[in-house]
Structures are given as C-alpha cells and as structure tokens.
Amino acid sequence: MPKAMLPGRLYPIVLEGDCEVYGDDKPPTFFAIIPTMTEAEEAAQLYDDFSDSARYPKLRDLHEHGCVTLAKLIKGWSHMTDREGNPLEYKGADSLRQVLVLGEVMELIGKILRLTSLTPEQKKTLEPLP
C-alpha cells in the first residue's frame, strides 16, 4: 500500500525551537499524514515560494496559504497551549494561524515533505489516529 494511503498513521513533528525549550518534557507536537504526490507538490511549491517575494508580495498571504496547506496534512496536535497555559483544541487552519509564525509554517512544511524518507526505526514509532 502507498505510504500516503496507510490508514490511521500519524507522524509526530516537533518544531526545532520547541525541542530546545522543552527537551523531552512534552513539547507541543503536531501529528501529520504523509502527503500524496499532489499534496506534496502543492506544499513544495509553497516552500519554494517562501524565497520568492514576487509571487507573494505580502507575507500575510504566504502565511495564509501555508496554514491552509498545512491543515490538509496536519490532523491534530498535543501539548499545545495559549500564553496563559490553557490547552488549545486543534481546529485546522484557524488553529494553525493562531499559533504559528511564517518561519514555523515553512519549517513544518519542510518536515512534512521529508516524511516520505522515514527510516524503518522511525516507522515503528507511528501514532495511530485517535
């Protein structure tokens, strides 16, 4: 079966900055699926556009498109809180807009694009869908 079609497979992703701050102590974690070729092409184009200011003269537009693209690939999160420490529920693109800056959007896209090259050991640690 193609990796992108494996049912119930979510891949945990932690932002680099959160690794530094939280270490192994429950960092905010995003759960993503492996993108299909079409989804990967869209994400890769967006990733390339990050350095092309002509295509997105307003960074807000790039951020918006990035959050919408990520919402197709991220299916949930854990240990995500607001500034007061209250848990945040994942609700797709709206939630991503609320918590991510543009650099983090691009980091997540890059990490998701690299999911297709997981090692056999990494594949053993996959999370089932809730």
In angstroms, rounded to a whole number, what is the distance separating the alpha carbons of residues 115 and 102? 20
- Phi/psi at 81 (nearest 5 deg)? -130, 165
Task: Reply yes or no on whether the pLDDT at 1 is more than 60.
Answer: no
pLDDT tens per residue, range 96-111: 999 999 999 999 999 9
For residue 76, the tally of other CB atoms under 10 A from its CB is 17
Q: How far is Cα of residue 54 from the mean position of the Cα atoms in its chain?
A: 25
Instruction: Decide if 119 contacts 128 (C-beta within 8 A).
Output: no
**How confident is the model at residue 98, as a pLDDT?**
94
Averaged pLDDT for residues 2-24 = 80
Domain boundaries, the chain: 7-120
pLDDT tens per residue, range 50-88: 776 666 667 788 889 999 999 999 999 999 999 999 999
Residue 130's pLDDT band (boundaries 50, 70, 90)?
very low
Place of tokens 């609320």: 98
